[in-house]
């Protein structure tokens, strides 16, 4: 993919009038949206494994999706989905595992049984983690977001051979970071609260993740995050 400095050029999002790319022509495609945290997971995994030339991004303007996506590609009509080997698969947590298992590149899950077990446990908790936070946006946000960051700080204390959730970078970090990125930005911007204060492991985790191009290239503009959350959860702000 072409790059400007370290930042690859993002293909422009397709809208309702855009033509459908060929289906099942042998190209692997990630149907995505640049603003969706679920889709961001799969995008990070693809980048980290060096699959930029093997998995093509097909981004949408989600508010104005083409009808052919639901009709011909993915009836659930959500992003992300992955076209690969004559099938279209969905669900971001399944997709990051699928990409790890079915494509070349650095493995995204450790072999160590204790790490595997803890990794699966954390993956099984991520939906609740994100739900709790979105619920906190409905009132008493700072106070109600505290347990989520406390949970992360504790989880990061489990392995001390690296700054990531399983020590080394893995798909567990990929599952959490798109949401933590958004929560962190929203708390700072709308509540003047730095959730990493007094949480050295979370602060270090975010700092280290921000050194990984595969992740930073997928980050959403903080202002867009704030605008979206304001519009959806707190129009009074």
Ligand X SMILES: N[C@@H](CCC(=O)N[C@@H](CS)C(=O)NCC(=O)O)C(=O)O
Q: Restricting to residues 52-71, name those near ligand X by CB under 6 A.
A: 62
Q: Least CB distance from residue 61 to ligand X, whole Å? A: 12
Identify which of residues 123 and 203 has a Cβ nearer to ligand X in the complex: 123
CA 221, CA 195: separation in Å to the nearest integer? Answer: 19
Q: Which stretch binds ligand X (CB under 6 A): 78-86, 131-139, 163-171, 195-203?
A: 78-86
Binds ligand X by CB under 6 A, chosen from 38, 48, 69, 176: 38
β-sheet with 55-59: strand ranges across: 55-59, 28-32, 81-84, 87-90
Q: Which residue has the tokens 């077990």?
A: 117
CB contact at 8 A, 177 and 44: yes
DSSP-assigned beta bridge partners for residue 172: none
**Among candidates 32, 29, 19, which has minimal Cα distance to 92?**
32
The encoded tokens of residue 55 equal 């998995």
Q: Is 209 left (phi over 0), alpha (psi -120 to 50) or beta?
A: alpha
Binds ligand X by CB under 6 A, chosen from 13, 59, 66, 80: 80
Binds ligand X by CB under 6 A, chosen from 14, 36, 166, 171: 36
Identify which of residues 137 and 203 has a Cβ nearer to ligand X in the complex: 137
Binds ligand X by CB under 6 A, chosen from 14, 45, 73, 79: 79
What is the pattern of x (binds ligand X, CB under 6 A) and - over residues 86-125? -----xxx--------------------------------
Q: Least CB distance from residue 91 to ligand X, whole Å? A: 5
CA 21, CA 1: separation in Å to the nearest integer? Answer: 17
Neighbours of 91 (CB within 10 A): 16
Q: Least CB distance from residue 185 to ligand X, whole Å? A: 16
CB contact at 8 A, 73 and 88: yes
Identify which of residues 54 and 97 has a Cβ nearer to ligand X in the complex: 97
Q: Least CB distance from residue 14 to ligand X, whole Å? A: 14
CA 10, CA 2: separation in Å to the nearest integer? Answer: 9
Binds ligand X by CB under 6 A, chosen from 20, 52, 77, 216: 77
Identify which of residues 93 and 188 has a Cβ nearer to ligand X in the complex: 93
**C-alpha to C-alpha distances, 62 to 37, 85, 119, nearest whole angstrom:** 13, 25, 31
Q: Which residues bind ligand X (CB under 6 A)?
A: 36, 38, 62, 77-80, 91-93
């Amino acid at each position: 993919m072409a790059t400007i400095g370290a930042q690859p050029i993002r293909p422009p999002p397709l809208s309702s009038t855009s033509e459908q790319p060929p289906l099942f022509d042998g190209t692997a495609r990630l149907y995505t949206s640049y603003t969706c945290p679920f889709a961001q997971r799969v995008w990070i995994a693809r980048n980290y494994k060096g699959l930029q030339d093997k998995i093509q991004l097909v981004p949408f303007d989600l508010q104005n999706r083409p009808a052919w996506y639901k009709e011909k590609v993915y009836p659930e009509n959500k992003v992300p989905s992955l076209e690969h080997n004559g099938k279209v698969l969905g669900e971001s947590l399944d997709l990051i595992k699928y990409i790890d298992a079915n494509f070349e590149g650095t493995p995204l899950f450790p072999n160590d049984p204790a790490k595997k077990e803890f990794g699966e446990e954390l993956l099984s908790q991520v939906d609740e983690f994100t739900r709790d936070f979105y619920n906190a946006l409905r009132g008493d946000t700072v106070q109600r977001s505290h347990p989520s960051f406390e949970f992360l700080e504790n989880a990061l204390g489990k392995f001390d051979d690296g700054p990531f959730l399983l020590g080394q970078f893995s798909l567990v970090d990929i599952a959490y970071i798109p949401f933590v990125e958004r929560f962190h930005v929203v708390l700072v911007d709308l509540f003047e609260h730095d959730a990493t204060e007094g949480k050295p492991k979370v602060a270090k985790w975010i700092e280290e993740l921000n050194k990984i191009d595969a992740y930073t290239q997928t980050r959403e503009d903080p202002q867009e995050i704030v605008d979206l959350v304001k519009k959806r959860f707190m129009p009074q702000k």
